[in-house]
Copies of this chain bind each other. A is one copy, B any other.
């Protein structure tokens, strides 16, 4: 005689995301998630393989949010590449400020088992890579994209970790960085 469902995968992932942002990854336990959705911990294993799998699903859900965000920014500002790149970089940083723990899960995962798939992450940052390629030209596209993503993710990771200790304004530091990078990466013989 079937028991009616008392929760769902969506509920579980949503509860896990809430816990992640409010309590941190180490406090995201199966018991805490089960409490939130109103079942006992063993019941979660009907819907996720194990804790790592659940954390990975949280990462995937976060990546999906980011994909939507960057896509909408990319479409909202079809102007000059030199303006679009900074706007995408700022959108990434804003997203990180809104969901710092989720952002870290995607861009600084602790272990491969909890990492979102390379494909979905690639899809999320695709607008960034496209605009960098446009800026740097085809020969340098890959190296330039790696330089920009390394800088952006490094800056945000340090900011979230509180690693910028010497005072000063971080918004200004971010703008300084993106401005200099745009100048440094622009193709030497621009067409327009």
Contact = CB atoms under 8 A, between A and B. Distances in A.
A158 B147 contact: no
A8 interface: no
Contact of A158 (B150, B164, B176, B177): B150
Interface in A115-150: 115, 118, 121-122, 140, 142-144, 146-147, 149-150
Contact of A176 (B25, B108, B147, B154): B147
Contact of A155 (B26, B122, B154, B180): B154
A181 B111 CA distance: 31
Given A154-B152, A157-B154, A180 B172 contact: no
A2 interface: no
Nearest to A167: B142
Contacts of A118: 163, 165
A180 B184 contact: yes
A143 B108 contact: no
Contact of A122 (B109, B142, B165): B165
A164 B111 CA distance: 16
Interface of A: 24-26, 107-112, 115, 118, 121-122, 140, 142-144, 146-147, 149-155, 157-158, 161-166, 168, 172-173, 176-177, 180-181, 183-185
Across the A-B interface, the 8 shortest Cβ-Cβ residue pairs = A154-B154, A184-B184, A150-B155, A150-B154, A143-B176, A147-B177, A151-B151, A180-B184
